Each structure stands twice: as C-alpha cells, then as structure tokens.
Structure 1
C-alpha cells in the first residue's frame, strides 16, 4: 500500500473477488457479487468523510450526534461497467448525487473517446467518488477525472475493483491528488490492454455481452 493506493484486503472482499474471477461464474452471480463488494469498498473510500454534530432527541434524552458534514456526495460512474459499483454504493448512500461519464477505448490506440458527460452541480463543494471496476491502462480514468476537474471537482477519489500497475502509475502521474481504493493490484496488462490475471471484461460479464 501507498498513500496514493489503498488495497482493501478484508477477507470478505478477497473471497468475493475470487468468485468473480472464476470464468464459470454466471452473469447473475457476477452482478450480485459486484454489488456486494461495492458495499465493502464504499466503506473504505468513505472512511474519512468530514463530520459534524447535530442536536437530536433520542427516546431518552437530547444529544449531540455525529453527522456527515457538507453537501451530498457526488458519485460518478464511468459507463458502462461503473454502474455495477454505483448501484452498490447507492445502497449505502442513497441520497448521493449521481453523474455519468461515457468513454470507450479505441481498440487500436487504447485511448479514450468521450461520448457522454452529465454530472451534478456544485462539484467544487462535494466529495466526488469516481467508480469503474477496472483500472487498466488508466487512460479512460485519467480522462474522466480531467473532465470532472474542468467541471469544478476538487476533492476526488477513485474506486475500482481491480487495478494494474500500469494504470496506477498513469493515474499517479496525471492526478497525484486523487487517491485510489481497490480490491486488488494485479500483475500486468496484456497486449490488448486487459488486466492479468484479472477477470475478463467487467461490462461483458455484468451484462452478458461479448
């Protein structure tokens, strides 16, 4: 682990990730596991949210109770696979504002091409959590964060299921101020830009496409 990268080594995270890596795991089970693992990763990525207190009445007495401070979180999904993590985080933070960045990777250059961008307002006042299951080359993630910073986001965190060393290095070079939380740092990228050992294409496995 480094200050820039946090690998969540909780036994439940690692167990569920192993089931997701298995090539015989069904689409339905893969999608359910991704939602469950998102709950656990969300716990880590929101660990240091700013807190304040609010005066409330319990059934027994008044008290100053802890509350999250500031505007609602912004969750930004990198389409389409990011939606699998997004759904799980929304289970825990249902009031969060949600944005979407549509990028696809050119198969020849491996560079990201933008086709959609819609995000909440007042990003400069919100903690923004960007979600995408796979941090492979890091090009799409870095491009998405470029767009979010242009839209005003200042406090950004990146959440993924798997990361490759190449992607982590690319993100650290492009956005050293954006911490990364992941379930595993895998070995390398292959010639097609896939994470090895990885789990294949997360979007295809979530939605049953090829």
Structure 2
C-alpha cells in the first residue's frame, strides 16, 4: 500500500532536517580529520565524507520535489539527470557496514542500513513507499551529526594543550618560572612576572608565557 504523498509542510520539515544535518556534518568533518587514526580512522573518515555527500544529495532532490510539485521523492530522484550520484550511497553502505562490524556499533549499522535503502535498486523497488525511508533518514542523520559534534566538543575539552597549561599556570597563586640552559624563559606566569617586576628584575623575552598565550588564543 502506497503511503500518502508528502505535502508542502512535510517537504519543508524534511528539507530543514537535511539542511541542518548537512551543516552539522560539514562542521564535524574537519574536526574528525584533524584527529589521528589508523586503518579504522581512515575508514571512518571515508564513511563520514560519504554521509556528508548523502545529506547534500538529499537536500538537492528534496528541493527538486518541491520545485516540480511531485510528492513522491524516489521517482524524482531516480529520474533526475544526476541520479547516477545516488550510487555513492551504495559505497557509503559498504563503508558503514565494514565500520559497524569492526567497531560493533549498532548506530553505524543502522546508518549503513538507511544508506543501503537510499541506493538506486532499493529506491526503484520501494517506489512511493520510499517516502517513509526519507522521513526516517533525515532526522536520524541530523541527530547523528549533532551527537558527533557534542563528542567533538567534549573531546576537545579533555585534550591537554599548551593553552590549557597556560590558563592553569595563571591560576596558581605562587610564581612559576621555567628557563632553558641558556637562561631564556620558557614559561612565566603572571604571579612570577609581578614578583620580578617588584624586584626590578628582567628575565628576557619568554618563548611563550601564560598571558601571551592567552592573548594569542
């Protein structure tokens, strides 16, 4: 039984989910690629790139449906001149399935299953029923991208950087000064700088100091 066609309000909500998901995935990608990883890292990066391509294609053919006034997404997507690009969803399914097996992650397995349903053979077989897939696909990948961004933020906060070291040193109530063998300052916090100034002493220009690091941040 063919489900009811998507009205304008449904298409607008679907498009909004796809646009937000594509934007969140675009922000997540450089954060993911900046991290180091082995074979699983490369496979994961390829999968996330293909997910981004999937979301941009979804935005494209949802806009086409709204433009031509066809309430069934699959026939419009398959009949478009760029429908060959939908085969990227098959490649995304292969990457996602391999990643899900390696990581034993049910979320990646669900993502791979949805991507398989977005490949041309599945869309042709489902026809008008494929609207139901689209209504699950868009919010799922939006939630997945937002969850990935939350993980990126938490991971960034837990990383030890020279900026976090500098901020910590400036909260210490005692002076701290680290110099190299030549007597050049490597680390100088605000408390020690104030003490040196009160004593009328100079330690030279530090390689990087707590306050100067904060200023550059």
* TM-score category, normalised to shorter length: under 0.3
TM superposition score normalised by structure 1: 0.24
Between 1 and 2, higher relative CO (CA 8 Å, sep ≥ 6) is seen in 1
**Normalised TM-score (structure 2):** 0.24
> Who wins on radius of gyration, i.e. which is larger?
2
Choose between structure 1 and 2: higher helix proportion: 2
Say which structure is richer in strand. Answer: 1
